[in-house]
Amino acid sequence: MLQRLYVHNFRCLENFELNLAGMPSALLIGKNGTGKSTIAAALQVLQSIARGTNRMRDLAAPEPLLSPKDFARGRADVPIRFEVEVLLDQALYKYVLALELPRGFHELRVLEEQLSVDDRPIFLRQQAQVTFYDIPQAKEVKFLVDWHLAALPIVQEQSVGALHLFKTWLSQMVILSPIPALMKGVSSGETLEPKRDGSNFAQWFLGVLSRYPASYTRIEKYLKDLMPDLLDFLNKPIGADAKNLQVRFAQNQALLQVEFDDLSDGEKCFFLAALVLAANYAYGPLFCFWDEPDSYLSLSEVGLFAMALRKAFEERGQILVTSHNPEIIRKFSDENTFILNRKTHLEPTQIRSLSELRPSGDLIQALTLGDLWE
């Protein structure tokens, strides 16, 4: 479970701290441009590194996650800093990554990097110099790493241990801002690493079902609650390596087979949610960040959808969502709702818990009038 995220000098986030300790689910709200999606970007930088994209210039394109232009207000003389504290198997993991852009450089380089468990270092790094602490063998190993590379995905333990556990957790974070039009039913290959826009949904679907076949029941149960006429879904081979996801509906004696691509945007989001819940159950606990899960849903579904997500993550894992939708906002409470605020584009994002700002009247009205923080 993510306990704390700290970000400094990255876009609009300066000395920014999000504390989620003890919260299986939480909500971020705030006006446009206050930094909700930037939090997702910060998490995605760490996720991408754990997934193996550790060269700094590779984080700048094709998806612009991190580049020299991301220093807050162009202030390149102050490092960009990311810190996460995560509770896994009752141990507190802390990963720190600080990046700098010395004069004359065009690519970010690592100034500092470290991973510790319960305050015991696994590795420490200053620029190119890495010190790895082999705890079972009680020895230190020193080596050099290219200063444009994050060391996290390179460092390897002799046996599967704390480092592997943390890397796996970080790489399996589910960060979503789905674009249903990009979610296609055709897949070639499988994965457990969904993309933020949901464009590799079918590969993820296949990856979960092939490695955890019992997930089918969980996915089916969730979907049948939402679409009672759902019969089943199947992955039809189309050629040597590709498959195409199809969904079958039945009522009375009638049967309808629909290509996944032809489902509505909202229905695709139901499938995505079903997969998130199944994945969390199968190989979690997962951390999920879902940017505006209400975007494609009908008003009658939004609240139930939010509650179903919250409820599933009560049991294990953790979900952080953003929203402007009153129906979603009402499904959270003062203690797990955070409000982001930014006075002007020249000032950094501030964050406060709703319990500190509780308006005397109606919350939604206060948000509508924009006077919650005033």
Partner 1 sequence: MIDRYRPHVLVLPEDDANRQMANGFVLHPGVNSRTIQILDTAGGWASVVEYVKKDGNINHLRKFEQCRVVLLLDYDNQFPGRFDSICEKIPGDLRDRVYVLGVLSEPEELKSDLKKPFEKIGNALASECCRDVQEVWQHPLLRHNHGELVRLIQDVKPFLFGNQ
Does 298 contact partner 1 by CB under 8 A?
yes
Shortest Å distance, C-beta 218 to partner 1: 11
Is position 307 an interface residue for partner 1 (rule: CB under 8 A)?
yes
43 or 219, CB closer to partner 1? 219
Nearest to 320 by CA among 32, 40, 11, 9: 40
The CB-of-314 to partner 1 minimum distance in angstroms stands at 6
Question: Helices marked H in 158-262 — which ranges?
Answer: 162-171, 201-211, 215-226
Are the CB atoms for 184 and 260 separated by under 8 Å?
Answer: yes
**Any contact of residue 225 with partner 1 (CB under 8 A)?**
yes
Task: Give min distance, CB of 311 to partner 1, in A.
Answer: 5
- Residues 71 to 130: which contact partner 1 by CB under 8 A? none
Question: Which ranges constitute the DSSP H helices of 227-371?
Answer: 265-283, 299-315, 326-329, 354-357, 363-369
Site string for partner 1, 180-219 (x = CB under 8 A): ----------------------------------------
Of 41-49, 125-133, 194-202, 331-339, which segment contacts partner 1 by CB under 8 A?
331-339
Contact between 303 and partner 1 by CB under 8 A: the answer reads yes
Stretch of 113-121, 127-135, 155-163, 299-307 lying at the interface with partner 1 (CB under 8 A): 299-307
Q: State in angstroms the smallest separation of the CB of 309 from partner 1.
A: 11
The binder of partner 1 chosen from 203, 336, 341, 349 (CB under 8 A): 336
Max Cα separation, the chain?
72
**Identity (one letter) of the amino acid at 331?**
K
Among 11, 81, 195, 331, binds partner 1 (CB under 8 A): 331
Answer for which of 107, 109, 301, 373 binds partner 1 (CB under 8 A) is 301
280 vs 336, beta carbon nearer partner 1: 336
Nearer residue to partner 1 within complex by CB, 165 or 307: 307
**Cα 68 to Cα 226: distance, rounded to the nearest angstrom:** 45
What is the SS3 assignment for 70? helix
Secondary structure element (H or E) that encloses residue 40, with its range: helix 36-50
362 binds partner 1 (CB under 8 A): yes
Q: Could you tell me the two tokens for 118?
A: 């319960």
* Nearest alpha carbon to residue 9 among 104, 114, 101: 101
CB nearer to partner 1: pick between 198 and 326: 326
Binding partner 1 by CB under 8 A: which of 134, 140, 229, 335? 335
- Which residue in 159, 253, 300, 344 binds partner 1 (CB under 8 A)? 300
Select from 325, 320, 326 the least CA-distant residue to 338: 320
For 228-250, what is the HEC assignment?
CCEEEEEEEECCCCEEEEEEEEE
Residue 36 parent element (H or E) = helix 36-50
Interaction of residue 334 with partner 1, rule CB under 8 A: yes
45, burial (CB in 10 Å: exposed 0-12, middle 13-18, buried 19+): buried
Please tell me whether residue 310 binds partner 1 under the rule CB under 8 A.
Answer: yes
- The nearer residue to partner 1, 89 or 334, going by C-beta atoms, is 334
Which residue, 346, 374, 347, 344, is CA-closest to 359? 374
DSSP-assigned letter for residue 350: E
Binding residues for partner 1, total number by CB under 8 A: 24
- Residue 229 as a binder of partner 1 (CB under 8 A): the answer is no
Residues binding partner 1 (CB under 8 A): 225, 228, 298, 300-301, 303-304, 307-308, 310-311, 314-315, 326, 330-336, 355, 362-363
